[in-house]
Structure 1
């Protein structure tokens, strides 16, 4: 089995507007999130690597 590398880039929106998208992505298997503004809030969602 190959290792996967999947990531999403978050939109430039308020945290409450993008939180659901990030949560859904994490539940779908995404393990990296590209975000420059809400690093601490993303870390609270689970085991995810943040690209900032």
Structure 2
């Protein structure tokens, strides 16, 4: 896989990290949303790790 694909995955990973941070900084963070975002982030991290 080329580096542009890995870069795109890293950008998505960073975006999800930002979404998690935004959700956690709310007065009443939604644990279900945070959990779903963390699962997506982990899946991306694993995909990046394959390259």
Task: Tell me which interval the TM-score lies in, with the shorter structure as reference length.
Answer: 0.3 to 0.5
After TM superposition, the score normalised by the length of structure 2 is 0.34
Greater RCO, 1 or 2 (C-alpha within 8 Å, sep 6+): 2
TM-score normalised by L of structure 1: 0.34
Q: Larger Cα Rg: Structure 1 or Structure 2?
A: 2
Q: Which has the higher strand share?
A: 1
Name the one with the larger helix percent.
2
